[in-house]
Amino acid sequence: MPESEPPPNRLRAPSGAALTVRVQDFARAVVTSPELEIKLKRAPNSPSWSLRDEDLDLSDLPRTPTRAPSMQIVGPRKAKIPSLQGWADPSQRRKILHALTNHELQAAELFAWALLAFPAAPEAFRRGLWEIMQDEQRHTRMYRARLQAHGGEFGDYPVSGHFWHKIGGIVSPTHFICAMSLTFENANLDHTVESSQAALVGGDPGSAVVIDQVRRDEMNHVRFGWHWLRHFKRPEQSMWEAYRESLAVPLHAGRATGKNFDPDPRREIGFDENFIEELRRAHAHTGPGGHRLDKPGGQPLR
């Protein structure tokens, strides 16, 4: 590296002295920068975990990400995603990969948001958020590269804010991991199997490789959520009780599974059998698109 360039994890102060990048500043840039390249910038290897007084003031905590006009979040009716059966059609394949890119970008933004939202959480927890944020950035770059390989670019189609729209009730680290790690990423253990198979059948083995890598990373992300739910829950609670208590409306447990629920990866992560059986039950009461069905007698299933 030329001597005139600072190391990648440092900024250059006006005096020429190197300044270590703070985690809070980097995370805020991921959420609030409109530029995709800044949102996907590789994180520094040795950031500063120092907190300032302003970091503890959450009055200006972003509730939505800042994005360039071509990446602005729109309503779900304007951001239609083809079914996976469309993977063999080049035009539909690009739309599917575009949606997957947006899903991972939302995840990167939201893990960065959690670093801003929970500055007083245990440092080990925050370091886990930091690592997962970097995984989500990498996933976004990987899907974007597949989109580009098929002649597309991120911003070509409208995008939804499916994950962002669910943060209204998230007011604690426990709420966050129950939503992101143990619901959305948990469901992705199933979704990625279906997506990988669709990519292979549709003649796109390169995308299948990326999806399989994402799934391996999701295993670690769900394991992170399981570990910290055990840490945060009350001693008298079961893991399932703690999870259900911390699910913020409109989320429900059926959202933690895909079309075909597979208990094996959950067992590998360490889920207890009661939690797995409750997930299976929730899956059985969840309709297409994750819509919750009613229990017998008209009682809504949570």
Q: Which domains does the chain have, with CATH numbers?
A: 73-290 (1.20.1260)
Q: What is the mean pLDDT of residues 290-296?
A: 49
Q: How confident is the model at residue 76 (pLDDT cuts 50, 70, 90)?
A: confident
Q: How confident is the model at residue 77 (pLDDT cuts 50, 70, 90)?
A: confident
Residues for the chain: how many in total? 302
Average pLDDT, the chain: 90
Q: How confident is the model at residue 220 (pLDDT cuts 50, 70, 90)?
A: very high
pTM of the predicted protein model = 0.89
Q: What is the mean pLDDT of residues 6-30?
A: 68
The single-letter DSSP state of residue 45 is S
Lowest mean pLDDT among 16-25, 38-47, 151-160, 196-205: 16-25
Q: How far is CA 301 from CA 81, 171, 246, 280, in A?
A: 27, 23, 15, 13
Structure tokens at 128: 């886990």
> Strands 18-20 and 10-12: what pairing?
antiparallel
